[in-house]
Amino acid sequence: MSGFLENMRCSECVDWGEKRNTIASIAAGVLFFTGWWIIIDAAVKYPDSKQFNHSYHACGVIATVAFLMINAVSNGQVRGDSYSEGCLGQTGNLVD
């Protein structure tokens, strides 16, 4: 995604550098919401298992669990800067 917004034709007009992560997060959230909206709409429209197999919800459930797991890790932990963020603070640091 880093090269996507840099190659836009109007990159001189707008500074996308600092807003790139925000735009990518909003786009990902909209796509995630849209996927759940479509699957719930299909389940309501076709409540019978013969018309719509409800095992298709498994993809959305796994994606939601992955979404929560990814967002549970702070940026500081990913970068290795410090262990001061999070609910445990520095007491959650098991590596010396």
Residue 84 lies in a domain: yes
By CB neighbour count within 10 A (0-12 exposed, 13-18 middle, 19+ buried), where does 53 fall? exposed
Residue 32 lies in a domain: yes
Residue 25 lies in a domain: yes
Q: Is the pTM of this model over 0.85?
A: no
Residue 42 lies in a domain: yes
Write down the pLDDT at residue 96. 46
Q: Is the dihedral of CA 31, 52, 68, 1 positive or negative?
A: negative
Residue 71 lies in a domain: yes
* pLDDT for residue 68 is more than 50: yes
Which domain range does residue 30 map to?
20-92
Count: domains in the chain: 1
Residue 63 lies in a domain: yes
Residue 6 lies in a domain: no
* pLDDT for residue 92 is more than 80: no
* pLDDT for residue 91 is more than 50: yes
